[in-house]
Every structure is written in C-alpha cells, then in structure tokens.
Amino acid sequence: MDYLNFEDAISPVITAMVGGRPVRRVPAKSQSIRMSAIGAIGHTFEGGTVHVWGTGCSVWKNPSAPPERRVAFSAPPHGEMVLHATSGPVAERLMSNGGPGPGLYGDPAWLLPHFYRPRIRKKWKLGVVLHLSELMDRSFEARPLSAFLRYVIPPELQDDVRLITTVTPLGVPSLRGKLDEMLACERIVSMTMHGLLVAEAYGIPSLYFSPHSEPRGLGRLDLDPDGPTDLRVIDFYLGLGRRSAPAYFQDRGLPTNWRDVMDAVDRAGDAARMDAGRLIEAFPYGAKPLKAPSGKTIWDHPIIKNLVLQHDVAELRRLDQEATERAAYREVPGATVSKKVQREPAAPAAPPAAEKVAAAAAAPPPGSPQLDTLLRMNADRMSVPLSWAATTRENPHANLGDTLSALVVAGMAGVTVRRAGFDQNIERMVAVGTIGHNQRNGILHFWGTGVDAERNPVDPFVRGYVRPANTEFHVHAMRGPNSARTFRAAGIDVPEIYGDPVWMLPRFWPMKDVEKTHDLGVILHITEMEDRTPEAQVKESLRRYAIPEAFRNRIRLINTHCPATVEGMKAKVAEIVSCRAIVSTSLHGLIISETYGIPCAWFATYGDGEGRMLELANPEHQIDHRMRDFYMGVERSTLSSYCLDRSKLTDWKAVLDWVHGTWRPLSYDDRPLIRAFPVPLAVSPETPAWPLPPAIVDSIEY
C-alpha cells in the first residue's frame, strides 16, 4: 500500500520503544519464533511460535469471507502461541483455545504517553475518528461515504469539529503527526478502537461513536462479544474490567447534533485506568525502554527513525523462507529438537543490513480473499499473472482492446502484471477479451471476460463450450449474461456482475484536453486490415470504407493496432476521442466510445445501408455475439446499428445522421465490477480519477 493505517503501523513503533531494539517484520505464516503486538491479528498466525503481547483476535479464521463461508477460529495445533498479554479476555480465550491464560489485558498503544507527552495547543473542540470502512477513499483527509450523513459538519462548526482518518502517509514522522492531530482535540468520539485508546491513554474525554440507532444519543454500550458492536472495541473495554461502557449512538444515515455530542462527552466522565507497568514487564524479550535523545523527542531516536513501514510482501515471504532453510541446514544431523517452548525467549539479534528490507511492523492485518489470491500467485516477485492476447515475435504490435487488459489490471492492482499462458498450469487472472473459452489448466480468476459459446479449449472440432479437466474456476465477473450462461451450463458458478474492464479507461486517462478534429471515426476490426501493423490500410475489397473527397477531412479510419507501449495505447485512445461520433466493427471501439461519452453505433457487416435498432434479446436479429453480450450486461435492450454490406459504398451523411439521432449515453454503474476485482485494489470505486504509475505500467511486456 502507499499509505499506513495508524492503528496497525503504531505496532512496530511501540514495540521498538519498549523493547529498545531494532525490529524487523516477518510474515504471519512462518516457521520462525516471533512476537506479535498491536492489532486483531491472532487468527492469522500459522506455524512456528508466536509470543503474543497485547494482540487481539477474531472469532473467525477468515473474517473477510462472506458469512456463509466463514470458519470459526481455533489456535493452530501445528504451531504454538505463548500468551504474555492479550487485548482482552475474548482474545485470550480464543488464542488459548479456552485454556488458562496470563490474565493480563491491554493494548500496547496505551504505553505511548510513557514515551511521548507533548504540549500541544488544542485546535478543535471535538475530534471524530472514522473507521476505514466509512471512507470514500484512502486519501489523507477524511472523506466519509456520501450516504453517511452523520459526518456532515455544518458551516458554523467547521472550525470546531475535526473529522480524522487513520489513513496516514508513509513514514514515522507521519505517525507522529497523526497522533498529534488526535491530541489537538479537546474531546474525541471514535468508531475505531485506537481512536478511543489514544484518547483514554492521554486523558482526553471520549466516547465510542456507535453507528446503531438505538438508543439515540448518549447511552450505555452492552459489552456482549456476540453482539453487533466491533469485537475489538468490546474486548478493549472488557480488558479494562468494565461490564458496560458509555457511548453515543447515532445512525449513519441521519445528521448529527454535534453540540449534543460534545455535551454528552462532557457528561459521560468515565475515564479508564490500566496498569501500564505490568504490560511493560510482560514484554516477551525483556523490556529495555528507549529514552529520547537529549533535547529531542522519542521520535528522533535512531531506532525509531530507521523503522521501515512499507514492504514487498513477496520479498518478505522469500526472506523468511530463506531464513527457515538456513536454520534447518545448521541443525546437527540426528539431534533431537525439543518442542517445549520457553516462557522467556532469548532476545533476537538485530537483523543484518541485507535483511532490513523486511523491516519493522506487526504481523499483517487480517487477510482477504483478494490478498490471499495475490500472494498465492507470486513465488518470487509481486506481480499479477494475467492471460491476455499479448504481442508475439510474429506480431509485435499491440491490438488496443487486448493490450488494455494488462494496463487496466496493473493500474487497479497497483502492481505490475506478467504474462500467463492460456493453458499454463498456474493460478492466474483472465480479464479483457473474448478469451474465456481458450483457458485451461491451473486456477483461473475471471474478471470481465467474454466467452465464445461455440468454441472450447478441449477439442477444436467439437462445437460448443466444453469444460476442461485439471482446471479450477473462480468467476468474479463476466463481460455479459451470455458469457455467464455458457459457463453456467458447464457447471461453473458465475455471479450476476457484468462489465468490460476497458470501461475504466477515463479514470486513468480523462482525455478532457483532446481536441475534436473529425466528425466521424470509423474503427475497423483487425480482420479488415491488410496486415497487423499500425500503418496497415483497410483491405481494398471492402468498398464501404471508401471516403469520397467531400468527406476526406471529416472522416477518420482508425486501425486498432498500435505500438506496444503505454504511449502508443494512449495515443490510439486519443485518436478515438478526437472524433465527434464513432461507428465500429470492433467491440472495444464501441466500449471506448461509450465510456468517453462519444455518440456511436455498431457498423454491422450486412444490409443495404440502413440504420436499425436491433433487439438484443431477439435471436432472429443478427448481432455479433460480443456486442450482444456486452450491451445486455449493461442492461440495454437494443443496439443502435448501421447495417451495410462491406462490398457496398457508404452514404456517410446518413451514417452521421443515424448515430447522432439515436445514440443515448449508457447509465452503467461500474462499482460492482470494481469491487469484484480478484486481488487487492490500489484504487477506490468511489474516486473518479485514478493514478497510473509509470513504474508499474511501463515495465509490462505488452
């Protein structure tokens, strides 16, 4: 990620402050002896021995999965958890499998005031800390989802109420800045546990800002681990010895009376207490608390300043595997290894310089199916294996619609992509293109892919789709319902999520400055060109593409082949956008036109030269199956088409009149397609503009 979540990233900081040693990060799944601190991450650990110090835990092994697929968590038998302290009694019970525990509860972030207690002028009367799930995006200013009216601040309170996000820029100084932002508030209400914890630790009056509507306003929070409230908050308060806790209840969909909130915080007056000394004494490797350098703060200590908080997860896993192999190699043959774990482990040595790339942090936060997918796909480097119709030695030039698959996937994932064969026995993604019927072997993740129902990957002489053997299908979205129907008929589960990923282009390339130079762009299919080069001309036998002198400067024939570079693709898209209207025999010529709001129509290859609104659901209407699939997927019932046999001359004025007279913009909501993306997103569905980092997309072999 290109940001920190304050709640997670404070873990290596406080671990280093209390332990007095450099800290390095290891994966949650490892054979090593390691420790964990801040975060509800106990359910993520596998293998080795984990020394737990103030850590929380979910009741589910896979809390991000749909409810019907969740698996109850129990401490893994093949590893061992040594509990020194937990976030609360619920986490203790889960990680000890109901057995005895240390009975010491508390989150290590509570110790921050022991190291840093600045004099900060109060800027705001109330700080409101939002949970990540309530945010529109991962920007550094709190931007709540538009439906959450409770976060609307009226103009007269703009200088009094501060919305705070835990999203923090990379780097230790930014974590200090986020903490200072909270400390500059006279009061705090928070949806996050660490917003409450910081307030309690520093003595700032605070309340949990419950999203539940009953009871309205100030009330008591029932600390029921099986109830609807965030288990992390429940466990935190239970660990403080409480049976209930004050809270302010406010429905997210209704405006908030902020003056009443501030009054409620003042009236609640229920300050928490925790034995910080016992938590320090419980530090697994023997506490050696740091002291601030003379005349400076603890944040200026070299051990804290040198913490690295962003990691290449694949590299992290590789280093951990190498360390495991080195340890196994060093063992004496025939020696008996005791499985008994000592309560006080030896202090680990500081990491060698070469290993500082895997620097300090707690175990990763609970994973998601998307993250698990990405990690499984990567043995040695972080990239997305993707099947697409890539360039070859024989055909080194890119075909725009196919090649955009790699660019869109890389841009949305925030990591580069690498080529994966259509029959390669690996786990991979399949996105843009009518290529679903070509895929076999391995584990396949389909996202916005099309299928030719008449073809299959098993036997080219058999008409119709046949499901291949030795292939595992995970369909996240398809291009349209016809492709979905083909897969479902083969026994493959397909969700009701449709769309073509090329639709995302304007988020990466807005093209608002492109000048309109032609009245009509005519986008040709690759089969209509003399060869597969950017300079290729249309085949002479196709008379309908002849341009008379009167239209010479008004009509642009567009070849979808382009240089296999980001610049080449962008220039080709700009060529399409420079036209005021489009007719196309290429599906992606139409999709690009639709997504940029350019009036367009399918240039059907039959007929005598007439415009027709073809009914997509009517099998009697002759429509290219790719167009039928896409437009039905975006809930259109008809397809605007200009029908003309390619051997006949075109009445270009009639074409222009038809396109402008019949086209209507698509009202397609692409957010379900974005949320169905199979690997972790680096972008937000709610954000209209997405970055396209050159370091990610320029390295792709298109």
| Residue 331 clears pLDDT 60, i.e. is over it | no
pLDDT digits (tens, 9 = 90+) for 179-215: 999 999 999 999 999 999 999 999 999 999 999 877 8
- Percent of the chain topping pLDDT 70: 91
Confidence of residue 69 (pLDDT cuts 50, 70, 90): confident
Look at residue 106 and tell me if it is in a domain.
yes
Sign of the C-alpha dihedral computed for residues 192, 195, 199 and 205 taken in this order: negative
Q: What is the pLDDT of residue 78?
A: 55
| Same-domain pairing of 543 and 529 | yes
Tell me the pLDDT of the chain averaged across its residues: 88
pLDDT digits (tens, 9 = 90+) for 411-433: 999 999 999 999 999 999 999 99
CA 87 to chain centre: 27
Confidence of residue 89 (pLDDT cuts 50, 70, 90): very high
| Same-domain pairing of 265 and 179 | yes
Look at residue 580 and tell me if it is in a domain.
yes
Number of neighbouring beta carbons within 10 Å of residue 691 = 14
CATH of the domain at 259: 3.40.50
Residue 639's SS3 state is strand
| Residue 346 clears pLDDT 60, i.e. is over it | no
d(CA 508, CA 696): 13
CA dihedral 658, 660, 664, 668 (to 10 degrees): 100
Confidence of residue 337 (pLDDT cuts 50, 70, 90): very low
Q: What is the pLDDT of residue 554?
A: 97
8 A C-beta contact, residue 423 and residue 593: no
Residue 556's SS3 state is strand
Q: At what angle do helices 193-201 and 6-19 cross, to 10 degrees?
A: 40
The whole-number average pLDDT for the span 374-393 is 78
Q: What is the pLDDT of residue 320?
A: 75
| Same-domain pairing of 134 and 261 | yes
Q: What is the pLDDT of residue 62?
A: 85
- DSSP 8-state code for residue 620: T
Q: What is the phi/psi pair of residue 235, to 5°?
A: -65, -35
| Same-domain pairing of 541 and 666 | yes
d(CA 54, CA 273): 16
Bridge partners for 61 per DSSP: none
| Same-domain pairing of 289 and 251 | no
Residues in the chain: 702
Look at residue 504 and tell me if it is in a domain.
no
Q: Between 242 and 646, where is the model more confident?
A: 646
363: left (phi over 0), alpha (psi -120 to 50) or beta: beta
The mean-pLDDT minimum among 253-262, 364-373, 407-416, 599-608 falls in 364-373
Q: What is the pLDDT of residue 366?
A: 41
- Percent of the chain topping pLDDT 90: 68
Number of neighbouring beta carbons within 10 Å of residue 54 = 29
Look at residue 362 and tell me if it is in a domain.
no
Confidence of residue 98 (pLDDT cuts 50, 70, 90): confident
| Same-domain pairing of 520 and 667 | yes
| Same-domain pairing of 73 and 209 | no
- DSSP 8-state code for residue 322: H
Look at residue 98 and tell me if it is in a domain.
yes
Look at residue 555 and tell me if it is in a domain.
yes
Measured at the alpha carbon of residue 388, what is the angle toward residues 565 and 395, in degrees to the nearest 5? 55
| Residue 448 clears pLDDT 80, i.e. is over it | yes
Q: What is the pLDDT of residue 338?
A: 27
8 A C-beta contact, residue 311 and residue 358: yes
The mean-pLDDT minimum among 340-354, 420-434, 472-486, 521-535 falls in 340-354
The whole-number average pLDDT for the span 445-458 is 95
| Same-domain pairing of 240 and 289 | no
The whole-number average pLDDT for the span 598-627 is 96
- Tell me the C-alpha to C-alpha distance, in Å, between residue 572 and each of 155, 521, 575, 634: 46, 12, 5, 25
| Same-domain pairing of 321 and 240 | no
8 A C-beta contact, residue 582 and residue 523: yes
8 A C-beta contact, residue 564 and residue 396: yes
The whole-number average pLDDT for the span 67-76 is 82
Q: What is the pLDDT of residue 228?
A: 85
8 A C-beta contact, residue 13 and residue 175: yes
- Residue 433 burial by Cβ neighbours in a 10 Å radius (0-12, 13-18, 19+): buried
| Residue 310 clears pLDDT 90, i.e. is over it | no
Number of neighbouring beta carbons within 10 Å of residue 694 = 9
Confidence of residue 379 (pLDDT cuts 50, 70, 90): very low
| Same-domain pairing of 531 and 635 | yes
**Domain range for residue 243?**
120-277
d(CA 423, CA 387): 9
Q: What is the pLDDT of residue 327?
A: 53
Q: What is the pLDDT of residue 355?
A: 31
Confidence of residue 369 (pLDDT cuts 50, 70, 90): confident
| Same-domain pairing of 205 and 255 | yes
The mean-pLDDT minimum among 299-303, 316-320, 389-393, 483-487 falls in 316-320
Bridge partners for 411 per DSSP: none
Number of domains in the chain: 3
| Same-domain pairing of 138 and 271 | yes
Q: What is the pLDDT of residue 361?
A: 29
Look at residue 47 and tell me if it is in a domain.
yes
Look at residue 628 and tell me if it is in a domain.
yes
| Residue 680 clears pLDDT 70, i.e. is over it | yes
pLDDT digits (tens, 9 = 90+) for 151-176: 999 999 999 999 999 999 989 999 99
Number of neighbouring beta carbons within 10 Å of residue 592 = 29
